């Protein structure tokens, strides 16, 4: 454990040093230097910790349920990443947003002394062993929610033994699926349950947010829309010729990184394309380039099919948004770490594409009315079951901490 403590101290020191030239490190340094808001001593504080924005979106449905049931409680939300911190700030109502001080004993003790949380709720893979030790010493119950084995299978390695010992302090580890629960039980952890992924409910809620086309975009009416979401150059290799060949379809193309050089290369490849944020000549085009964030998740509701990028790199990006819209989904071959993609493959709502020829056959199949109706029914049934996760989690927490959840 001492080696871990010194490694974390060294890492935090390196971050502070790197802040002189690295924007990400500078953001983290500024985040942890921001003053903490005061919390009334007579008010219950519930602490939710997230690595970044993705984990926050995952746990947000539970936070919202908590606020509805216990409006007098203060909700403390901490981030390790400055990117998530900046997006969720400022503080509002009974919510406080702060930076996680790092897994070092003295800062953690100061953090807990200041906020005095009644419980600590960690998300997905945010396992900080020293913090769990201190919480246990102080008698503050802690949980880990939405855990999924995936890349966390390194916990099997002997070097992670000290981490497993600290995870024994957790009053509950709620998993996204049964395989993850079985994996933890094999490691000797017993306070394990399966409630699903609370992010599903959040994704469904986003479908209720309408999306209006910008006035400057002139669309050819009567054409089916295909969305290529969060794509990389490797994904475009199977699609570029099809996009040019299939002028009978509308295409919306959203690079994973905006802005990027890839966006500029897309404009060169499809010079007739219209850009979402940049008014141009009112000439109709069947290609739209999505050059801003916040549009893609709502755009799927207007599409007939979608391809999700990343499958020719480290792994596909989230396929939940197009699935929540009830449309057929496809992606590249690297999808084994995506729980939802595996589910969509089993129900034949999702497809793996390796080549242009496979993409052509997929389009021909999924744009048929009967195929779309079948896939929509399959996805609707899956989402109805998965959307119950936040309520199940809330029941688990209230059964574990009844004395802390009374308003």
Residue pLDDT, tens place only, 290-345: 998 888 988 999 999 999 999 999 999 999 999 999 999 999 999 998 989 999 99
Q: C-alpha angle 290/220/231, rounded to 5°?
A: 25
What average pLDDT does this structure show over 1-6? 63
pLDDT above 80: residue 15? no
Contact 309, 228 (CB under 8 A): yes
43 vs 253, more confident: 253
Close Cβ partners of 351 (under 8 Å, ≥ 6 residues apart) = 328, 329, 330, 331, 345, 358, 362, 366
pLDDT above 80: residue 110? yes
Sorting pLDDT into bands at 50, 70 and 90, what band is 16?
A: low
What average pLDDT does this structure show over 351-370? 97
Contact 64, 35 (CB under 8 A): no
**Of 228, 216, 201, 374, nearest to 299 (Cα)?**
228
Q: Where are the domains of the chain?
A: 2-194, 210-386
CA distance 299 to 279: 19
Q: How far is CA 366 from CA 38, 182, 351, in A?
A: 55, 36, 10
Q: In DSSP terms, which residues pair with 282 in a beta bridge?
A: none
Q: What does the pLDDT read at residue 406?
A: 41
**Is 210-386 the same fold as 2-194?**
yes
pLDDT in tens, 70-93: 999 999 999 998 888 988 988 777
- The CATH fold assigned to 210-386 is Rossmann fold (3.40.50)
Q: What does the pLDDT read at residue 403?
A: 53
Q: What does the pLDDT read at residue 405?
A: 44
Burial letters 117-134, b for 16+ CB under 10 A, else e: bbbbbbbbbbbbbbbbbb
Domain covering 2-194: architecture: 3-Layer(aba) Sandwich (3.40)
What average pLDDT does this structure show over 242-256? 95
What's the pTM value of the predicted model, to 2 decimals?
Answer: 0.81
């Amino acid at each position: 454990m001492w080696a871990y403590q010194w490694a974390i101290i060294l890492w935090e020191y390196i971050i502070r040093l790197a802040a002189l030239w690295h924007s990400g490190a500078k953001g983290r340094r500024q985040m942890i230097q921001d003053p903490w808001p005061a919390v009334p001593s007579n008010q219950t504080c519930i602490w939710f910790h997230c690595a970044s924005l993705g984990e926050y979106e995952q746990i947000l449905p539970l936070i919202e349920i908590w606020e509805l049931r216990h409006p007098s409680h203060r909700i403390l939300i901490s981030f390790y990443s400055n990117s998530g911190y900046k997006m969720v700030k400022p503080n509002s109502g009974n919510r406080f947003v702060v930076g996680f001080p790092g897994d070092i004993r003295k800062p953690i003790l100061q953090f807990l002394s200041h906020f005095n949380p009644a419980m600590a709720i960690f998300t997905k893979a945010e396992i900080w062993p020293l913090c769990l030790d201190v919480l246990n010493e102080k008698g503050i119950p802690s949980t880990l929610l939405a855990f999924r084995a995936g890349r966390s299978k390194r916990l099997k390695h002997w070097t992670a033994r000290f981490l497993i010992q600290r995870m024994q302090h957790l009053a509950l580890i709620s998993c996204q699926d049964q395989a993850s629960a079985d994996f933890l039980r094999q490691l000797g952890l017993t306070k394990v349950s399966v409630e699903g992924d609370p992010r599903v409910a959040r994704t469904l809620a986003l479908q209720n947010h309408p999306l209006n086309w910008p006035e400057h975009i002139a669309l050819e009416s009567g054409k089916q829309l295909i969305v290529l979401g969060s794509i990389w150059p490797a994904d475009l290799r199977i699609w570029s010729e099809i996009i040019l060949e299939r002028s009978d379809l509308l295409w919306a193309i959203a690079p994973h990184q905006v802005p990027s050089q890839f966006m500029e290369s897309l404009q060169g490849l499809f010079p007739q394309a219209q850009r979402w944020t940049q008014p141009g000549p009112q000439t109709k085009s069947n290609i739209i380039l999505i050059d801003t964030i916040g549009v893609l998740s709502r755009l799927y509701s207007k599409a007939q099919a979608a391809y999700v990028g990343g499958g020719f790199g480290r792994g596909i990006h989230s396929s939940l948004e197009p699935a929540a819209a009830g449309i057929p989904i496809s992606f590249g071959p690297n999808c084994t770490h995506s729980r939802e993609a595996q589910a969509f493959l089993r129900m034949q709502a999702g497809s793996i594409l390796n080549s242009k020829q496979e993409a052509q056959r997929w389009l021909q199949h999924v744009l048929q009315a009967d195929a779309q109706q079948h896939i929509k029914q399959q996805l609707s049934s899956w989402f109805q079951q998965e959307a119950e996760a936040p309520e199940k989690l809330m029941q688990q927490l209230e059964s574990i901490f009844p004395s802390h959840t009374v308003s």
